[in-house]
């Protein structure tokens, strides 16, 4: 049976008239990666700050390994590593000296400190830049050094708050590789993002929040099952689509919805196995295809279904 490492219950926070977090509750199991998903302003960063004890909540509890996190320096809080959304580095100190400084704040010293510094630099692929200053690093390299700093004290739970903001695709993939290595080691992770494809790649459990409220708290498979369409087919025709054609396609076996977009049909399917028969029917009826593509339901489809609107910038 999975062991609960983090329990968040009824967290709330209000700033003036605005309720930033409104009764957020979820759990993280040991070795689990939880994607905390939502648009900007949904309450993700405030929730993370309360979990880490950086912001006092107006209500609710946070337990780490059964112990309250609370404020100040305590054993429960030291089991958490935080990678903040804003970079926390000294630009003119070499990377290794940045890590030695942060490690000292955790009480590490001597050979143990140096061992951890070299281990985390190796993990984030910056071992060859240990003596270089962050001021010479790319944005992605700085993000990776930020992750290294959060891992110095070997936390049981690593929380990453929008860790890929402003980085190039190569650096993003390097960050993913690091996190997948940590997952393989059995470390628990919370990954917050409004980039749904990132959460879809990394998480084995997903919490979706908006306006400070939890909209979903379940596995990806359970989320996908919420939608009547588990797959989709985009069929672009060589001629305009008549309304009668869309109505006829909607009656085909395995089709759950049909929308007309220009000279194309967006067709929701109960399963991708239904796609060949739909394409065959279109051909038999004399509707020639210019292009077609299939896809499965993704997290953005689910998010839009839950909220009824596009993501916010």
Q: What pLDDT is attached to residue 158?
A: 97
What does the pLDDT look like over 252-272, one tens digit per residue?
Answer: 999 988 888 778 898 888 877
Q: Residue 309: pLDDT above 70?
A: no
Q: What pLDDT is attached to residue 311?
A: 44
Residue of 272 and 100 predicted with greater confidence: 100
Confidence of residue 224 (pLDDT cuts 50, 70, 90): confident
Q: What is the DSSP string of 238-294?
A: SSPPPHHHHHHHHTSTTEEEEEEETTEEEEEESSGGGHHHHHHHHHHTT--EEEEEE
Q: What is the mean pLDDT of residues 53-75?
A: 88
Q: Looking at 74-83, 151-160, 218-227, which range is the least confident one?
A: 218-227
pLDDT above 90 covers what percent of the chain? 60
Q: Residue 116: pLDDT above 50?
A: yes
Q: What is the mean pLDDT of residues 103-112?
A: 93
Q: Residue 181: pLDDT above 80?
A: yes
Q: Domain locations in the chain?
A: 4-224, 231-296
Q: What is the mean pLDDT of residues 178-186?
A: 93
DSSP SS3 for 103: helix
What does the pLDDT look like over 274-305, one tens digit per residue?
Answer: 889 999 999 999 998 998 887 766 666 676 66
| Number of neighbours of residue 99 by Cβ within 10 angstroms | 27
Q: Residue 23: pLDDT above 70?
A: yes
Confidence of residue 249 (pLDDT cuts 50, 70, 90): very high
**What would the CATH number be for the domain defined by 231-296?**
3.30.70.100
Average pLDDT taken over every residue of the chain: 89
pLDDT above 70 covers what percent of the chain? 92
Q: What pLDDT is attached to residue 28?
A: 97
Q: What pLDDT is attached to residue 20?
A: 94
- Selected from 3.30.43.10, 3.40.50.300, 3.30.70.260, 2.130.10.10, the CATH number assigned to the domain covering 4-224 reads 3.40.50.300
Q: Decide: 297 and 305 in contact? Cβ < 8 Å.
A: no
Q: What is the mean pLDDT of residues 207-235?
A: 84
Gap between the Cα atoms of 41 and 56, Å rounded: 18
Q: What pLDDT is attached to residue 103?
A: 94
Confidence of residue 82 (pLDDT cuts 50, 70, 90): very high
Structure tokens at 6: 């983090």
| Number of neighbours of residue 177 by Cβ within 10 angstroms | 13
Among 156, 151, 161, which Cα is nearest to 47's?
161
Q: What is the mean pLDDT of residues 6-33?
A: 95
């Amino acid at each position: 049976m999975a062991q609960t490492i983090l329990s968040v219950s009824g967290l709330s926070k209000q700033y003036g008239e605005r309720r930033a977090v409104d009764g957020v509750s979820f759990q993280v199991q040991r070795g689990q990666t939880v994607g905390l998903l939502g648009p900007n302003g949904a309450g993700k960063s405030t929730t993370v700050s309360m979990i880490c004890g950086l912001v006092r909540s107006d209500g609710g509890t946070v337990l780490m390994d059964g112990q309250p996190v609370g404020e100040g320096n305590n054993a429960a809080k030291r089991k958490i590593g935080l990678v903040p959304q804003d970079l926390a580095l000294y630009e003119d100190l070499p990377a290794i000296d940045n890590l030695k400084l942060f490690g000292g704040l955790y009480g590490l010293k001597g050979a143990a400190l140096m061992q951890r510094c070299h281990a985390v630099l190796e993990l984030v692929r910056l071992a060859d830049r240990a003596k270089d200053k962050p001021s010479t690093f790319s944005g992605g390299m700085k993000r990776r050094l930020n992750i290294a700093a959060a891992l110095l004290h070997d936390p049981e739970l690593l929380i990453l708050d929008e860790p890929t903001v402003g980085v190039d695709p190569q650096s993003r993939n390097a960050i993913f590789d690091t996190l997948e290595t940590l997952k393989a080691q059995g470390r628990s992770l919370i990954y917050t993002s409004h980039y749904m494809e990132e959460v879809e790649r990394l998480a084995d459990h997903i919490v979706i929040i908006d306006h400070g409220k939890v909209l979903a708290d379940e596995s990806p498979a359970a989320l996908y099952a919420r939608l009547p369409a588990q797959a989709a087919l985009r069929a672009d025709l060589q001629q305009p689509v008549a309304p009668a054609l869309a109505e006829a396609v909607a009656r085909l076996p395995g089709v759950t919805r049909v929308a007309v977009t220009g000279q194309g049909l967006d067709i929701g399917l109960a399963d991708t196995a239904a796609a060949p028969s739909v394409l065959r029917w279109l051909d038999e009826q004399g509707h020639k295809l210019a292009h077609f593509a299939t896809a499965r339901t993704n997290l953005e489809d689910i998010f839009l279904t839950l909220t009824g609107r596009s993501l916010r910038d």
